[in-house]
Amino acid sequence: MELLICGSGSSEAMPALFCDCEVCRKAWKNGGKDFRTRTAYQLGEEIRIDFGPDAMLHRAKYHLHYENLRHLFITHPHKDHFSPLEMNYHVHGPMGPAMLKDHTLTLHGTKQVLDQFRQGLVKDFSKMRMELDELEPDFGSRTLENGIRFSFLKANHFCEGAINYIIRLPDGFTFFIGTDTGRFKEETWEILKNNRFDLMVLDGTAGLLDIDGGHMTAKQVLETVARLRKEGIVREDTRLVTNHFAHCGGMLHEDLEKFYLPHGIEPAYDGMILPLGKKDRT
């Protein structure tokens, strides 16, 4: 199994909408890894994390078959991570029942996410082959029919109902999706201490900015990784990735590599593939 990083940018993407700053101008010129769509992840064919305004672009670019999705986990209700409008097209009936697989898509999210979904409905929900699963923002878990377990814990972000995910595969491979969070609070550290991660994806939105809030700066990522190592939460061979980069952070991909790689941390990019599973580790 693989984790596909469909998008690696923050809410404005990169080059950012309506922006002509130096970073965005260079991103336009460079393209490649400096072109960043809004952050989302695909886990195999049946599981996706976040479904924002670039979902259609991801589908086309990576040949994704959303009709095969069985589980959609949303991290929080901000529009760059969850676009309820798109969910209106998950329908069946006279408009084309053969186009959808004969299974249900479960939308997993906090109350704030599900409320946003309901408010955005323009179709009749009874005609949608979907189920809603409300997640409590405090620590809890769901085990899927394929044995993958999603645990969720409250994120340190700018809105209510924001969560991060700990995902454990049936073979024991354990990874963390922690974008859209600032410094971990002590209650988060207490949960993380009970795990030994094979892969961690951490928020690196703020780059060179000097802030302390709902996202991490590059310096704070290094501080976080240092404590993860000190606490034994990650091993020497744990793969560490940072993601969700904003143009206002002032760092192009080359800058990110120069900053992070010497510390054993990889900056993500659109289309990055991370092998999962004990036997797939390199």
Q: How far apart are CA 30 and CA 37, in angstroms?
A: 15
Contact 248/18 with Cβ under 8 angstroms?
Answer: no
Q: Tokens 């408009």 correspond to what residue?
A: 95
Q: What is the pLDDT of residues 186-195, one digit of tens each?
A: 999 999 999 9
The pLDDT of residue 97:
47
- Residue 29 CA: distances (Å) to CA of 16, 167, 252: 13, 37, 12
Task: For residue 135, give both structure tokens.
Answer: 């997640």
Contact 13/23 with Cβ under 8 angstroms?
Answer: no
Lowest mean pLDDT among 32-46, 115-129, 137-151, 234-248: 115-129
Q: How far apart are CA 78 and CA 32, in angstroms?
A: 26
The pLDDT of residue 137:
86
pTM, to two decimals? 0.95
Question: Domain limits at 117?
Answer: 2-280
Contact 69/43 with Cβ under 8 angstroms?
Answer: no
* Residue 51 pLDDT > 90: yes
Quote the distance between the C-alpha of residue 244 and its chain's center: 8
Contact 241/202 with Cβ under 8 angstroms?
Answer: yes
What CATH number has the domain bearing residue 80?
Answer: 3.60.15.10
Q: How many other β-carbons are positioned within 10 Å of the β-carbon of residue 262?
A: 8
Helices (H) then strands (E): counts for the chain:
7, 14
Contact 242/204 with Cβ under 8 angstroms?
Answer: yes
Q: What is the pLDDT of residues 233-266, one digit of tens each?
A: 999 999 999 999 999 999 999 999 999 999 999 9
Q: What is the pLDDT of residues 8-26, one digit of tens each?
A: 999 999 999 999 999 999 9
Q: For residue 217, what is the DSSP state?
A: B
Helix (H) or strand (E) holding 258: helix 253-260
The pLDDT of residue 209:
97
Q: How far apart are CA 124 and CA 94, in angstroms?
A: 13
- Which of 185, 193, 46, 198 minimizes the C-alpha distance to 108? 46
What are phi and psi for residue 273, nearest 5 degrees?
-115, 125
Number of domains observed in the structure of the chain: 1
